[in-house]
A and B are shown apart, each in its own frame.
Chain A
Amino acid sequence: MSTLTPAAPRNTPAGPTALNVGPRRRGKSRMDPTRNNTAAGLAAWLLALLFAAPVLWMILTSFHSETDAATNPPSVAANLTLDAYAEFFGASSGVSPWPPLINSATASILSTVVVLALAIPAAYALSIRPVKKWTDVMFFFLSTKMMPVVAAILPLFLFAKTVGALDNIWFLILMYTSMNLPIAVWMMRSFLAEVPVEMLEAAQIDGAGLLLTLRKIIAPVAMPGIAATALICFIFSWNELLLARVLTGVMAGTAPVFLTGFVSSQGLFLAKVCAAAVVISLPVLFAGFAAQDKLVQGLSLGAVK
């Protein structure tokens, strides 16, 4: 169970080392393990391609002309062109997607910075030098995440309307901060809990101050965790639609809001939609693959490694 317990040292992977039971290994196994794996590999690859097909099709179509994009049966080998991307960036319509893209980047990055600034000290007070009843505090944080956004959105909307914060990017940043803070606290706590207690004690005995301990002992262990937390918070903010749709308009609209208004019902637009989807998904794809190693730990709130 070592992998379920964030405080466990990482040197106990359940793997080949545990299998070292000598020549009896796989002695009575009835199946030829190689053949079994080939079949499993083939099945896995088929399913992987099936699951990735919509994504691959989206990317391929985005490089096709509108006429080639809308054929039946699909024209897989059609000529490649960047026209759809030029159209997305407003070549003929003159509507630039940059303001919403910049709004999304601003809201996602700034809210992530605020989340980290609040979550790291909180996680410190829940793991390295824990307060009394720290488990209760953890579950309070988690319970706020379980409340659906729709249950609080009307008062937030009315409040924003009253104080003139509607269509204001700063209000959205505030909302995204509260949306991601519980997740970040849970994640950061699980990463900080990996700091070896012995090292902290040794530092204390040697009379190292708080700053030195933070810099020399905690930071090196926690850095990859902080990076993963930041990437996951970024992804959640970048993806968010409901709050952005209700709280923003022309000025502060984010990329997902722009995307929902992008589809016109007239004429051919499939390649353009695919190009838009690719551009808007790129930051998430990069962030997700960068955080791939810690994605599970993050998404399961640190419960699974």
Chain B
Amino acid sequence: MTTATARTARTGHSATKPSKNARSRERALAWARRAPLLPALIFLIIVTQLPFVVTLIISFLNWNSLRPDQTGFAGFDNYIQVLTNADLRQAIFTTIVLTVSVVLASLLIGLGLALLLDKKFIGRGLARTLLIAPFLVVPVAAALIWKHALLNPTYGLINGTLTWIWSLFGSDTPPQPDLLSQTPLMAVIVSLVWQWTPFMMLILLAGLQSRPMDTVEAAQMDGATPWAIFRHLTLPHLRQYLELGGLLGAIYIVQNFDAVFTLTSGGLGTANLPYAIYQTFYFANEYGLASAAGVVVVIGTIVVATFALRTVFSLFKKEAAR
């Protein structure tokens, strides 16, 4: 616990006599400590907080840039429209379905992969590298590859493989589904799960490797089955890693734009809120409405973020307490 004492020594101000001179010196010291922090802090406040305040203001305005003469105060009209407009309501629903299914599926598959990679086998390093690859393809490029090279109904790899497998059994009438138009949301989900599974796997693998092995060994000696060890030792240990991966993933996937934009252009019920907002202000020029939808996204994110912050904080507190 030398660290703890050192840290308090670093932060704590020694109790000095309240002489005027000492107090001003102390204040100068506090500012010297703050100085390196200020540029980053001020920059971030100006570039991220200020625009949001403006968004908040615009969300109460009736403002379409194509009809500037009708601009005026709108009260809660925009918010009512966000919640009653069929397209935007659909977008809220799509965002929830997309985020929840991608996060859950990639967490589950990532957990399976992490459990496999936790064992020693030949070529483990290379297998790990191959598994990370999907995460290191530029998202737009990945979406284009899924759309044209994999899902294309006439010459995509998926239908091509079906043709090949069917031909092995002497059939020349293989199923050739057009997944992108038949199940568009599913296509977006699958491509995102493919991209996000490596992220979950890396976090969970780090969690597995930090598992205290002595308790596992003790359990094995007492004759615990692998399932019992997983259920009662591994899973509780992994809980905070699962939470962290899920919440960080959720924050990124709620904001997804690239996959929806590239794979389906938001068609066929795949438009999520980021895409719908982009459409609303960029093409429909409905500034007030787009801003209100943006505020709704923020409120939704705050709900998720409250949980996220709590998880990160529980990890963080342990360190701060050192």
Q: Which positions in A face B, CB cutoff 8 Å?
A: 1-8, 13-15, 18-19, 21, 24-31, 36-38, 40-45, 47-49, 51-55, 57-58, 61, 69-74, 118-119, 121-122, 124-126, 129-132, 134-135, 137-159, 174-175, 177-178, 181-182, 185, 193, 197-198, 201, 235, 238-239, 241-242, 245-246, 255-256, 259-260, 263, 269-270, 273-274, 276-277, 280-281, 284-285, 288-289, 292, 295-296, 299-301, 303-305
Neighbour of A124 across the interface among B7, B36, B128, CB < 8 A: B36
- With A52-B134, A73-B167 in contact, do A270 and B149 touch (Cβ < 8 Å)? yes
Across the interface, do A154 and B291 meet the contact criterion of CB distance under 8 Å? yes
Partner of A40, one of B33, B116, B273, B277: B116
- Given the complex, which residues of B lie within 8 Å of A292, measured CB to CB? 129, 132
Which stretch from B15-23, B75-83, B311-319 is at the chain A interface?
A: B311-319
Contacts of B161 in A (CB 8 A): 73-74
Given contacts A19-B217, A52-B134, A288-B135, contact A150 B51 (CB under 8 A): no
Asked if B48 contacts A281 (CB within 8 A), the reply is: no
Given A124-B36, A259-B140, A288-B136, the answer on whether A151 and B298 have CB atoms closer than 8 Å is yes
| 19 A-B pairs with C-beta separation under 8 A | A5-B315, A47-B116, A48-B126, A51-B131, A51-B134, A73-B167, A74-B160, A141-B44, A143-B305, A151-B55, A151-B295, A153-B277, A154-B294, A155-B55, A156-B51, A197-B6, A239-B138, A280-B141, A284-B136
Q: Which partner residue on chain A sits nearest B262 by CB separation?
A: A260
8 Å CB contact of B40 from A4, A19, A73, A119: A119
Assuming A72-B163, A73-B160, A74-B161, is B274 touching A131 (CB within 8 A)?
A: no
Asked if B24 is at the interface of the complex by the 8 Å CB criterion, the answer is no
Is B181 an interface residue, CB under 8 A from the partner? no
Complex contact A193–B319 (CB within 8 A): yes
The verdict on B241 contacting chain A, using a C-beta distance below 8 Å, is yes
How many residues of chain B get a CB closer than 8 Å to chain A's CBs? 130
Give chain B nearest CB distance to A245 CB in angstroms. 8
* Nearest CB on B from A249, distance (A): 12
Q: Counting chain A CB atoms within 10 Å of each CB, which of B40, B205, B248, B287 scores highest?
A: B40
Contacting residues, chain B, for A135 (C-beta < 8 A): 316, 320
B residues lining the A interface (CB < 8 Å): 2-3, 6-7, 10-11, 30, 33-37, 39-41, 43-44, 47-52, 54-55, 58, 112-113, 116-117, 119-124, 126-142, 144-146, 148-150, 152, 154-155, 157, 159-161, 163-164, 167, 194, 197-199, 202-203, 205-207, 209-214, 217, 220-223, 225-226, 240-241, 244-245, 248, 251, 254-255, 257-258, 261-262, 273-274, 277-278, 281-282, 287, 290-291, 294-295, 297-298, 301-302, 304-305, 308-309, 312-313, 315-316, 318-320, 322
Task: List, in ascending order, chain A residues with CB within 8 A of B50's CB.
Answer: 155
| Cβ-neighbour of B48 out of A134, A144, A288 (below 8 A) | A144
Please tell me if the beta carbons of A197 and B141 are within 8 angstroms of each other in the complex: no
Q: Can you name the residue of chain B whose Cβ is closest to the Cβ of A41?
A: B121
Docked CA distance A53–B133 (Å): 10
> In the complex the two chains form, is A299's CB within 8 Å of B203's CB?
yes
- Contact of A146 (CB < 8 Å), options: B123, B129, B137, B301: B301
**Residues in B neighbouring A269, C-beta threshold 8 A:** 148
Q: Which residues of A contact B210 (CB under 8 A)?
A: 1-4, 14, 305
CA distance A71 to B149 in the complex (A): 11
Report how far A182 CA is from B119 CA in the complex, Å.
Answer: 35
Contacts of A21 in B (CB 8 A): 214, 217
Q: Name the 10 nearest CB pairs between A and B, nearest first.
A: A41-B121, A121-B36, A3-B210, A277-B141, A155-B54, A288-B136, A152-B51, A122-B40, A178-B47, A125-B37
Q: Known: A6-B319, A238-B138. Is A273-B198 also a contact (CB below 8 A)?
A: no
Interface SS, A side: helix
Instruction: For residue A7, give the distance in angstroms from its CB to the closest CB of chain B.
Output: 5
The residue from B2, B298, B320 contacting A148, defined by CB atoms under 8 A apart: B298
Q: With A4-B240, A72-B160 given, is the CB distance from A296 to B140 under 8 Å?
A: no
Complex contact B41–A43 (CB within 8 A): no
